[in-house]
């Protein structure tokens, strides 16, 4: 395989990574539009008089607030199956969002590394061409 074919293959890989990033961003936008919890809450069922009720507890954000909606620490969900199912779906969409975000960040770092290495390779090739070795 010659240098130009190798460079073309690398550029195709970069294009595929960018396409995957675009797909992941669409998944993230759809999750945001449907509603999600960006941070995973702890689920706690509490027994109160007439039954069990679900509460979602959110972690501290490190600045004196909490990661729940509107900075709340605790969100009352209740025991209505439809409401509980919607909040569980929001938790699931949040997990999908975080996974997609992690993969987008990984692909961005990977593309950046490949571009830097390509720049170095191109620089070496130009130096070799100037010296008439190629």
- Give the model's pLDDT for residue 133: 55
Question: Is the pTM value of this prediction over 0.75?
Answer: yes
Structure tokens at 50: 């007439």
- Can you name the residues that pair with 126 across neighbouring β-strands? none
- Given a cut of 90, whether residue 21 has pLDDT beyond it is yes
pLDDT tens digits for range 102-129 = 999 999 999 999 888 888 888 888 887 7
128 vs 134, higher pLDDT: 128
pLDDT exceeds 90 at position 4: no
> Across the strands, what pairs with 46?
53
pLDDT one-digit tens code per residue, 41-55 = 999 999 888 889 999
Please name the helix (run of DSSP H) or strand (run of DSSP E) that holds residue 28, with its range, or none: helix 3-34
Residue with tokens 């069922």: 45
Scored b (16 or more CB within 10 A) or e, 36-64 reads: bbbeebeeeeeeeeeeebbbbebeeeeee
pLDDT at 39 over 70: yes
Cβ neighbours around 114 below 10 Å, total: 15
Q: Which two tokens stand for residue 99?
A: 């996974």
């Amino acid at each position: 395989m010659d240098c130009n074919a190798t460079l073309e293959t690398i550029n195709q890989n970069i294009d595929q990574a960018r396409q995957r990033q675009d797909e992941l961003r669409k998944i993230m936008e759809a999750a945001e539009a449907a509603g999600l919890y960006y941070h995973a809450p702890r689920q706690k069922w509490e027994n109160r008089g007439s039954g069990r009720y679900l509460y979602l507890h959110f972690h501290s954000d490190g600045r004196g607030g909490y990661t729940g909606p509107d900075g709340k620490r605790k969100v009352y969900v209740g025991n209505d199956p439809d409401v509980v199912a919607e909040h569980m779906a929001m938790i699931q969409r949040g997990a999908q969002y975080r996974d997609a975000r992690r993969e987008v960040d990984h692909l961005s770092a990977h593309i950046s590394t490949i571009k830097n290495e390509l720049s170095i390779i191109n620089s070496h090739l130009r130096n070799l061409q100037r010296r008439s070795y190629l």
